[in-house]
Amino acid sequence: MKITSQEIRTKYLKFMESKWHKIIPSSPLIPENDPTTLFTWSGMQPMVPYLLWEKHPLWTRICDSQKSFRTWDIDDIWDNRHTTFFEMLGNWSLWDYFKKEQIEWMFEFLTKEIWLNPKNLYVSAYIWNKSFNISKDEEAANTWKEQFAKIWIVAKIVDDVEINGMQDGKIFYYKEKENWWSRAWVPENMPVWEPGWPDSEMFWDFWEHLKLHENSPWKDKHCHPNCDCGRFLEIGNNVFMQFKKVENGFEELKNKNIDFGWGLERLSVAVNNDPDVFLWNLFDWIRNKIETLSWKKYGENPKETKAFRVIMDHLRASTFLIADWALPSNKDQWYFTRRLLRRAVRFAKDLWINSWLSKEVALEVIKEYQNHYTDLLEKKDLIVREIEAEEKQFLETLEKWLKEFDKLVNGFQIAFEKTWNKVDIISWDKAFKLYDTFGFPIEMTIELAWEKNLKVDVDGFQEAFKKHKDLSRAWAEQKFKWWLADTWEITTALHSATHLMLAWLRKILWTHVHQAGSNITAERLRFDFTHTDKMTDEELKQVENYVNNAISANAKIILENISKVEAQNDPQIEASFWEKYPDIVKVYTFKDGKWNIYSKELCWWPHVEATWNMWKFKILKEEASSRGVRRIKAVLEK
């Protein structure tokens, strides 16, 4: 009997606990105090301070299952392996163990805990860089070889897999493009002092599954683990935090770390030995509900299968996003929740489901995940209310979309009547405007055009869409620049200001006020909080004065590590998302020389040592963010 995804998650956490790791809860999908990104899109993100500069309050060995969301996969959700929401199982060594222990434990977990067949396992390691005198990672490759040898498998190490194929290899060296981790991707582009790390990835081979399918495009092909043919799936990545760039090359870090992560969904399809992630057991209830609502069967019709996948993925992701206060709207992170929900409703029409699909499927998501993510059950009413309201509003919006399309077609007719030059194709720029400005999906444009005997310049649209997507991805990656020292002090000061601001908001607006998200750049802070009414000018002035008084008083920031139980029993301590905190928490207190306390709050992100260097606090704007959530934008001025 195959183990379930829930069992894989539990087994992994208990396995790492047996290796003396402390288990921490997942951080929210909306980074509470991370100024660098819209969403938590990897297990590493919440661990950045401890991987680079700060001591973790719990231990030097940490593990978790982290909720993650990636925006750039939204438009790829119709193949069998992409999902926007996923769980990353991860473990970290903070100046503790290194390559040998990490590789040995991962091999043990794969082969003895979840019983994967080692014949289907392949691994990679970093090759070398002669220009910078970075040597081949023989330690990682040979450690993997030793693991296979323990179970009587001869694991051949191959240098030139991309040129000459697999050559009966088991362990493959790859260049920087595949097995080097840094913000600049390759050593040549890295600035001085930037960290760069070799990694070692693990792959599952679906060959046995695929060769049984006569229609498989890869049935007779001989490829390698890092090609994109679909035969292999990366299931995990060991990152060895080992080097930093210096003036004349690279030098090894004095204190080395391990950053490891594998996708729960990817492990699950390996256990199932079927590359279709949507046949994985955590989708069972969700898939069954859609089949019941639509009277359709998943996998029987390609167009309907695509619709199933979009609905399953998008409503699962939306459920988790709303639980973390990304309520659907047109602003920032909240826009993606709206986009997911609307896209799911649109694809429901391909299954002839006309209304109330979202609520029904979301309830199945909650049911499936509530034992591990208990906040889903606690926020069920919020989730259902927001989804119902968004679905109703979108069904009305569909009518507006159709009117926009009719306007476009009518324009063609008017032009024809004036010039007698018939237009029978919708140009790429008009199709892209419908998509980008009005949210009109290209598939719907094509379908409606066909009904009107029109064609669409799909190739031109796809080229424009690719440029749009590449820009979005580049923007998202650019946001993730947490080690740049020139902006770090400013963003840390702005983050410290959010603590002081929240303390006064809770005094003048009352204790229903909690943080609902933040985004901080080197120029400004943006802070969302739970409150329904617009703040008055007087209230905003009071907030400004309170923060500036704390700055003038040169309040010191005191850090204490205490038990979560003790923190929950202290009425002075404010915290959002209690469920994300481990048993030992960090409490930051702002206190002046007269023992006046300005703020006392749980947090994971670093702060300034004292308020004297925070400059003057000024609120620029207060506005609605989404239903029941207000937003303040503010700056620190010299």
Nearest CA among 294, 314, 313 for reference residue 304: 294
Query: Is residue 204 located within the same domain as residue 288?
Result: no
Query: What domain range is 633 assigned to?
Result: 485-637
As a whole number of angstroms, the distance between CA 82 and CA 343 comes to: 16
| Rounded-to-integer distance, Cα 23 and Cα 14, Å | 9
Structural contact between residues 271 and 116, judged by C-beta atoms closer than 8 angstroms: yes
393-415 confidence digits (pLDDT tens): 888 877 777 788 888 878 776 65
CATH number, position 203: 3.30.930.10
Please report, as a single letter, which amino acid is at residue 394: F
Cβ-count burial 425-464 (b if 16+ within 10 Å, e if not): ebebebbbebbeeebbbbebbbebbeeeebebbeebbeeb
Q: Mark whether 307 and 205 lie in a shared domain.
A: no
What pLDDT shows up at residue 353? 87
What tokens appear for 67 in the block? Answer: 């909720």
Which of 246, 262, 279 delimits the end of a domain? 279
Write the single-letter amino acid at 154.
Answer: V
Report which residue type is found at 437: T
Do 450 and 550 fall into the same domain? no
Residues 155-173 as b or e (16 or more Cβ within 10 Å = b) = bebbeebbeeebeebbbbb
Strand partners, 252: 243
Distances (CA, A) of 59 to 20, 96, 457, 586: 9, 10, 57, 13
Q: What is the mean pLDDT of each run of 10 residues along the chain (638 residues)?
A: 88 97 90 68 79 79 94 72 92 95 98 95 89 86 98 94 86 85 67 80 84 55 76 92 83 89 93 89 92 93 91 96 88 84 86 84 94 92 93 81 80 61 77 76 77 84 80 51 48 89 92 83 86 94 95 91 86 74 82 90 82 90 88 92
Asked if residue 578 and residue 509 are part of one domain, the reply reads: yes
286 and 270 in a single domain? The answer is: no
Residue 322 structure tokens: 């709303």
| Domain count along the chain | 4
**3-class state of residue 194 by DSSP:** coil
pLDDT (0 to 100) of residue 476: 47
Beta strands 584-591 and 157-158 are: unpaired
Our CA dihedral for 107, 108, 111, 116, rounded to 10 degrees, sits at: -60
Residue partners of 282: CB distance under 8 A and separation at least 6: 4, 5, 6, 265, 268, 368, 369
**What does the alpha-carbon distance between residue 78 and residue 82 come to, in Å, rounded to a whole number?**
8
Q: Answer yes or no: do 210 and 289 share one domain.
A: no
CATH code for the domain of 602: 3.30.980.10
Q: Are residues 219 and 239 in the same domain?
A: yes
Assess whether 125 and 64 both reside in one domain.
yes
Pick from 232, 248, 279: which residue ends a domain? 279
Taking the C-alpha atoms of residue 432 and residue 465, their distance in angstroms, rounded to an integer, is 8
pLDDT of the residue at 363: 95
Of 575, 578, 581, 577, nearest to 600 by C-alpha is 575
Tokens 């973390």 belong to residue: 324
Question: In the prediction, which pLDDT does 415 show?
Answer: 58
Residue 364 has what pLDDT? 94
Are residues 298 and 273 located together in one domain of the fold? no
What integer best gives the mean pLDDT of the chain?
85
What span, in angstroms and rounded, lies between the C-alpha atoms of 286 and 297?
Answer: 13
Helix (H) or strand (E) holding 591: strand 584-591
Residues 443, 343 share a domain? no
Same domain, 473 and 406: no
Alpha helices in 425-536 (DSSP H): 428-438, 442-451, 458-479, 485-508
Which residue is listed with tokens 């947090």? 603
Contact by Cβ (8 Å): 203, 172: no
Question: How large is the C-alpha radius of gyration of the chain?
Answer: 26
DSSP line for 427-454: -HHHHHHHHHHH---HHHHHHHHHHTT-
pLDDT, residue 564, reads 83
Say how far apart CA 432 and CA 426 lie, in whole Å: 10
Name residue, tokens 């060959």.
Answer: 207
End-to-end CA distance of the chain: 66
CB 325 within 8 A of CB 513: no
Q: Could you tell me the two tokens for 426?
A: 């919708």
Three-state SS sequence of 138-193: HHHHHHHHHHHHHCCCCCCEECCHHHHCCCCCCEEEECHHHHEECCCCCHHHCCCC
Buried b (16+ CB within 10 A) or exposed e, 62-72: bbbbbbbbbbb
Domain boundary among 397, 420, 443: 420
The helix/strand count (H/E) of the chain reads as 20, 19
Do 147 and 119 reside in the same domain of the chain? yes
Task: Count the Cβ atoms, other than its own, within 10 Å of residue 561.
Answer: 12
